[in-house]
A and B are shown apart, each in its own frame.
Chain A
Amino acid sequence: MTRLKTAILIGTAALTLAACAKKRPAVLPPAPTETPATTGQTGPGGPIGNGVVPGSDADFQRSVTSNTIHFGLDQYDIDPQARAILDSQAEWLQRNPNVRITIEGHCDERGTREYNLALGDRRANATKNYLAAKGVAPSRMTTISYGSERPIALGSDEAAYAQNRRAVTIVLN
């Protein structure tokens, strides 16, 4: 009995861990013609490697430096660090020209409600404009501001705030 339980436990754990295969070596995406062109389609190529669909958000996230850039307090300009990240995003997007993305703008909680909505919108748009300047067609990009409604760090200290001031690029599947 215990052996069965152990096996079930291990099996469940393996299953849950299977989706976390982020540490596998990057696999070059297939040639453009083979990648899924539109959202919602899994593409003819089928899963690669451990099951990441090329052109998907998971693929995006493991391909680029980061899907998130950060901002200074009350700022919406793209600093050099952000530029590097966006450059890698732009590159991936060039390789996946049919992929559409949405860019979320977020703020820390130390701002008032309406202003944060506007500031998040500024950050999202700044990101979009930078990517557009890098050759990504604006028609592929939408923006949305979440103000301070969706923080990822829940503390009320500077470290948490710095993490929350961000723009996140999300590939739409």
Chain B
Amino acid sequence: MFRKTLTLALLLGTAAAMAQEPAAPTPPPVPQTAAPGQASLPADDQAGGLIVDVEGGTSQPTPIAIPVMPTPAVVQTPAGATDTLGRQLSEIVANDLRNSGLFTPLSPGQLRAVSFPEVTAPAFDYWRGTSAQALVQGYIRANGDGTLTVGCYLYDVSAQRELVRQGFVVPPADWRRAGHKCADTVYSRLTGEKPYFDSRVVYVSETGPKGKRIKRLAIMDQDGANHRFLTNGQSIVLTPRFAPNQQSIVYMSYENDRPSIYVYDLGSGRPRRVVQNANLTFAPRFSPDGRWILFSMAVGGNTDIYRVSSQGGTPQRLTNSPGIDTGGSYSPDGSRIVFESDRSGGQQIYTMNADGSNQQRISFGGGRYATPVWSPRGDLIAFTKLSGNFRIGVMSPSGGGEKLLTNSWSDEGPSWSPNGRVITFYRSGRGAGGAAQLWMVDLTGVNERRIPTPLGGSDPAWGPLRP
């Protein structure tokens, strides 16, 4: 009898144990939605059985402290004195993080002066008394060979521990890049996203009356610094895009009254014609491996999408519909292309294989869709939606999940940051004075902000992360 009881008890006990493991009680009113599926939320053997569920968060940006970066010795460099550079570096980091929309740097009045030895031994007690949840400390040092070393350290203030550290050695001319690299290190560690601050934007700088705009190619760091013009404005230029190796820009120009696509070599400053025929060619884009240039060509009044070797040669036709097919953009793995076509009566978005086969429409949301661009991380396609206003939106590569990010009279021409998290576009105003300006928005729709440029701007293209 006892044995039977024992056995029974054991069985019951085991059953109870197994039943209890998942520990997902019937859903209570409190939001405890345990995600279905993955069952890797144990109360593992080591832990006691007590489980406390907590849910909470805020959409406010993370408060972060970025004190001025000290220097072990003040040295004059071609870029300036190292102590001045240290202050400017901390400002670059603070601006990058603030402009991402995910961080709020503490104001200078809340920061303390950090000495060089304190960089690796932070005064956590002080920082814990501020609202900062993270702390970025660094230093700049002039090396004997003319280069600069910038150290960058990220700390978790409440846990009082270092999260990541990184050092950068740069020539004086690239000192700002060290600041962007430091901001990227911090940003990636604190968000899980890939970095994007050390990158450039190429765009069309605009000035003058609407009927006779002077347009010039221009390039700048994504924060607006190091701005320079690439063309002189004598011919209309449109839609510039980076080559993946960042050595050249492909664009369309009206020089010689022959609107055609060109490749501009950033090193030599010289343009080179890509397609040698009399047809109108426009809307060019490089393939992710840099071997091909996708473009649109109008023949006898009909526009289709072609590709040509980036070294030049005979174009290969990819689309062949009586409608206008234009605006092609490759997927990041180069296997597919998204483009716009009005073959169904109005502009819509289509995808196809890189060889032109399997063309399928993916936009069905009512209204018209144009200027599709594939995200560098492959998960989304950005576009301009035309339904009354022009608005920037994103959708999945199969066309679902459409989400509109902006809501202004005329937002157009999206381009992705290298990490696929931020979209830049241009916004035009109404009327004779309506000038275009460059803007950015986070892919969640928050943090819409204007990018300051010397003149007006349109057709922005965000380049890859600089190595």
Judge A-B direct contact (beta carbons within 8 Å). Answer: yes
Binding site for B on A (CB under 8 A): 74, 76, 109, 111-115, 117-119, 121-122, 124-126, 129, 142, 144-147, 149-152, 154-156
Cβ contacts under 8 Å, B432 to chain A? 154-155
Q: Are A113 and B257 in contact (CB under 8 A)?
A: no
Q: Say yes or no: is B365 at the interface (Cβ < 8 Å to chain A).
A: no
Cβ contacts under 8 Å, B384 to chain A? 112
Cβ contacts under 8 Å, B301 to chain A? 76, 121-122, 124-126, 129
Q: Are B211 and A151 in contact (CB under 8 A)?
A: yes
Among the listed A109, A113, A142, A144, which residue makes an inter-chain contact with B459, where contact means beta carbons less than 8 Å apart? A113
Q: Say yes or no: is B213 at the interface (Cβ < 8 Å to chain A).
A: yes
Q: Mark B335-352, 1 if CB is under 8 A from A, else 0.
A: 000001010001100000
Q: Closest Cβ of chain A: how far from B97's Cβ, in Å?
A: 32
Q: Are B259 and A115 in contact (CB under 8 A)?
A: no
Q: Say yes or no: is B209 at the interface (Cβ < 8 Å to chain A).
A: yes
Bound state CA distance, A117 and B347, in angstroms? 14
User: Which residues 282-323 of B have a CB within 8 angstroms of A?
Assistant: 282-283, 296, 298, 300-303
Bound state CA distance, A142 and B278, in angstroms? 10
Cβ contacts under 8 Å, B280 to chain A? 117, 121, 144-145
Bound state CA distance, A125 and B298, in angstroms? 10
Bound state CA distance, A111 and B412, in angstroms? 9
User: Which residues 370-394 of B have a CB within 8 angstroms of A?
Assistant: 370-371, 384, 386, 390
Bound state CA distance, A154 and B434, in angstroms? 9
Q: Are A115 and B326 in contact (CB under 8 A)?
A: yes
Given known contacts A115-B326, A150-B211, A125 and B239 CB-to-CB distance under 8 angstroms:
no
Q: Are A118 and B296 in contact (CB under 8 A)?
A: yes
Cβ contacts under 8 Å, A111 to chain B? 386
Bound state CA distance, A129 and B302, in angstroms? 13
Given known contacts A112-B347, A155-B431, A121 and B298 CB-to-CB distance under 8 angstroms:
yes
Bound state CA distance, A118 and B239, in angstroms? 14
Q: Are B431 and A154 in contact (CB under 8 A)?
A: yes
Q: Say yes or no: is B327 at the interface (Cβ < 8 Å to chain A).
A: yes
Q: Say yes or no: is B236 at the interface (Cβ < 8 Å to chain A).
A: yes
Bound state CA distance, A113 and B241, in angstroms? 14
Q: Are B459 and A122 in contact (CB under 8 A)?
A: no
Among the listed A118, A146, A151, A154, which residue makes an inter-chain contact with B324, where contact means beta carbons less than 8 Å apart? A118
Bound state CA distance, A84 and B301, in angstroms? 22
Bound state CA distance, A94 and B6, in angstroms? 113
22 residue pairs A–B, Cβ–Cβ below 8 Å? A109-B428, A113-B371, A114-B282, A114-B296, A114-B326, A114-B340, A114-B371, A115-B342, A117-B280, A117-B326, A121-B303, A124-B301, A144-B257, A145-B280, A149-B236, A150-B211, A150-B212, A151-B211, A154-B209, A154-B432, A155-B432, A156-B430
Bound state CA distance, A5 and B65, in angstroms? 71
Binding site for A on B (CB under 8 A): 209-213, 236, 238-239, 257, 259, 278, 280, 282-283, 296, 298, 300-303, 324, 326-327, 340, 342, 346-347, 370-371, 384, 386, 390, 410, 412-413, 428, 430-432, 434, 458-459
Select from chain A the residue with minimum beta-carbon distance to B339.
A114
Among the listed B210, B340, B434, which residue makes an inter-chain contact with A115, where contact means beta carbons less than 8 Å apart? B340
Cβ contacts under 8 Å, B302 to chain A? 122
Given known contacts A122-B301, A126-B301, A145-B259, A154 and B238 CB-to-CB distance under 8 angstroms:
no
Bound state CA distance, A97 and B370, in angstroms? 42
Q: Are A119 and B386 in contact (CB under 8 A)?
A: no
Q: Are A114 and B239 in contact (CB under 8 A)?
A: yes
Select from chain B the residue with minimum beta-carbon distance to A150.
B211
Select from chain A the residue with minimum beta-carbon distance to B323.
A118
Select from chain B the residue with minimum beta-carbon distance to A154.
B432
Q: Are B324 and A115 in contact (CB under 8 A)?
A: yes
Cβ contacts under 8 Å, B346 to chain A? 74
Q: Closest Cβ of chain A: how far from B165's Cβ, in Å?
A: 45
Bound state CA distance, A14 and B359, in angstroms? 63
Bound state CA distance, A76 and B390, in angstroms? 22
Cβ contacts under 8 Å, A121 to chain B? 280, 298, 301, 303
Bound state CA distance, A109 and B212, in angstroms? 14
Bound state CA distance, A159 and B259, in angstroms? 28
**Top 7 A-B pairs, shortest CB-CB distance:** A125-B301, A154-B432, A118-B303, A156-B430, A112-B370, A121-B298, A118-B324
Q: Closest Cβ of chain B: how far from A160's Cβ, in Å?
A: 9
Cβ contacts under 8 Å, B239 to chain A? 113-114
Q: Closest Cβ of chain B: how far from A161's Cβ, in Å?
A: 12
Select from chain B the residue with minimum beta-carbon distance to A164.
B211
Q: Closest Cβ of chain B: how far from A43's Cβ, in Å?
A: 24
Bound state CA distance, A112 and B389, in angstroms? 12
Q: Closest Cβ of chain A: how far from B270's Cβ, in Å?
A: 24
Among the listed B211, B283, B390, which residue makes an inter-chain contact with A114, where contact means beta carbons less than 8 Å apart? B283
Cβ contacts under 8 Å, B428 to chain A? 109
Bound state CA distance, A114 and B390, in angstroms? 14
Select from chain A the residue with minimum beta-carbon distance to B429.
A156
Q: Are B431 and A156 in contact (CB under 8 A)?
A: yes
